[in-house]
Amino acid sequence: MKRPITLTVNGAVRPAVVEPRTLLVHVLRDDLNLTGTHIGCDTSQCGACTVLIDGLAVKSCTQLAIQCEGQAITTIEGIGTIEELHPLQAAFWEKHGLQCGFCTPG
């Protein structure tokens, strides 16, 4: 049975309605349209789905969305701006990193 949850993502409060077993990565990508978080390996090995939860790096494919209520979630979309890239984003730009990042683990 689906239930409503409220997540704080990139500083904004975002509602979602999820099954209790829904993984955070699916809510971010499918419900909140934050597609910078990738599903890379389906085995939680690669890190392409890494986000920050309360400042700690977490693989979002291993975290249930309902466990994240009350925590601050930061995705790649939330760490910089077009005008001022985050150092991680700038490094991809400067070193000609891959466009989508699927091959580059978190």
Residue 32 lies in a domain: yes
Which residue segment(s) compose the domain that 13 sits in? 3-94
- Give the number of other Cβ atoms within 10 Å of residue 93's Cβ: 10
Strand order in the sheet with 56-59: 12-18, 3-9, 72-74, 50-53, 56-59
Number of separate domains in the chain:
1
Phi, psi of 16, rounded to the nearest 5 degrees:
-155, 155
Those residues whose C-beta lies under 8 Å from the C-beta of residue 89, and which sit 6 or more positions away, are 76, 79, 80
Give tens-digit pLDDT for 3-23.
Answer: 999 999 999 999 999 999 999
CATH number at residue 58: 3.10.20.30
Give tens-digit pLDDT for 16-45.
Answer: 999 999 999 999 999 999 998 888 887 888
| Global pTM value | 0.85
Those residues whose C-beta lies under 8 Å from the C-beta of residue 28, and which sit 6 or more positions away, are 9, 34, 37, 51, 60, 73, 75
